[in-house]
Structure 1
Amino acid sequence: MAVIVRAGAAPMWWPGVVAAAVGAFVPGLTGRRIGLLAGAALFLLTAALVASVRMRRYGLLAGAATRAGRGDFLQDRDVTVRRWRRGHRWWLLGAFLVAVASAFVVPGAGGLVLAGAGAGLWLKAVRIGRREARDDVLYWVRTDWVERGRPAGRQVKAYRTTGPMAGDAAPGGARRHRR
């Protein structure tokens, strides 16, 4: 489940950083200094907002989690990430283009908002990973319940759990390093 949350972090962070760097070279209407300072404040605000949104729902679903059965279809980490990124590629491209275009008005702010959303998703995945490590389980969402890449959508009734060594994902959705 944390894999779905974490899947959007990198595709938002890196284009946001690139868009903010473009904004650092464009004077814009407000000027570079004001734009980058406003962007830094928006980065922190966006990261905090994204990291905290729906955490109560995640907690409720995790509290009602049941052990994964033989009939549950649980996807590989790479497949989940690839499906999320393919399903959101046009949205991500549009967000990047808007962030770059906003640099001509408020330099760097749009890119830093996009990067803040990516950082917030990463922070949320880290919080979920801490809960997984504390509970000594991995939380999964059945693939037939995932609604447009939302791990806490209306169709998700409860999470499934497996042992912490199941699958190819570590707690928090990171890649499991095999030795």
Structure 2
Amino acid sequence: MGRGAYALARVAVVVRAPAGPLWWLGVLSAGTGALVPGLTGRRIGLLAGAALFILAGAAAFAARRGRYARLARGASRAGRSVFLQDRAVTARNWRRGRRWWLAAAFLAAVGSCFAVPAAAGLAMAGTATGLWAKALWLGGLERRAEALLWVRTDWAQGSPAAKAVPGYLTTGLAAGDALPGGARRRGGATPPGGVTVGAAR
């Protein structure tokens, strides 16, 4: 699994890639909903939204955590010929592939404001928060193992924990341009196009 030339994406970066768009679209649609009375009224809409924020965040954080943990425990060392995909490239590819889904979710959230103001937008923001929390949890796994988790880009077209993903690969903590958990690494970015693992094992 660790041989051959292919591209790897950071698992935590893929997990947190939807968080930014979902957060801002959710906040925008919730703010729009706060201006619309709706059928239920603003107060009920905001209370429902607060409940959905918590539920959606908890669901996003908990989803497939056991699968992530199992794949992390069984991860093998990456070969020297692989390429590490830049953090920005991984996030951009995910967002480009799902831009219409994000647009449809935003329009649906705004439309729902006429029934229950702000509720759907707060649910989107809660989902984003849960994904950020999951990325931080993955960062904790990486720090304890002293190894970053990567997945082949051709395996993780949908999710880095999908059934089609047979396993993860690891590198040292210094590899790539993202810290444990997927946050941007300051002052140590990789050059465009990725680098081989061998320099940061």
Q: Same fold (TM over 0.5)?
A: yes
How big is the shift at 1:74?
A: 3.0
For residue 120 of structure 1, the aligned residue among 130, 148, 172 is 130
Cross-structure match for 1:54: 64
SS at match of 1:35: helix
For residue 141 of structure 2, the aligned residue among 131, 142, 151 is 131
How big is the shift at 1:73?
A: 3.7
After superposition, give the CA deviation of every residue in 1:132-166 in whole Å (9 maximum; x if it has no partner): 11111110001121123x11112211110000110
Cross-structure match for 2:172: 163
How big is the shift at 1:70?
A: 2.4
State the alpha-carbon separation in 1 of the partners of residues 80 and 99 from structure 2: 33
Answering whether residue 95 of structure 2 is matched by residue 85 of structure 1, we say yes
State the alpha-carbon separation in 2 of the partners of residues 43 and 72 from structure 1: 39
Cα RMSD (Å): 1.0
Contact in 2 for aligned 1:24/1:108 (Cα 8 Å): yes
How big is the shift at 1:22?
A: 0.5
Contact in 2 for aligned 1:20/1:111 (Cα 8 Å): yes
Answering whether residue 199 of structure 2 is matched by residue 172 of structure 1, we say no
Please tell me the residue identity of whatever aligns with 1:174.
Answer: A
Q: State the aligned residue count.
A: 178
Please tell me the residue identity of whatever aligns with 2:60.
Answer: V
Instruction: Give the structure with the higher percent helix.
Output: 1
State the alpha-carbon separation in 2 of the partners of residues 47 and 132 from structure 1: 22
User: Structure 2-normalised TM-score?
Assistant: 0.86
State the alpha-carbon separation in 2 of the partners of residues 39 and 156 from structure 1: 34
| Consecutive unaligned residues in structure 2, runs of 5 or more | 1-10, 189-201
How big is the shift at 1:71?
A: 3.8
SS at match of 1:139: strand
Contact in 2 for aligned 1:72/1:142 (Cα 8 Å): no
Please tell me the residue identity of whatever aligns with 1:99.
Answer: A
| Consecutive unaligned residues in structure 1, runs of 5 or more | none
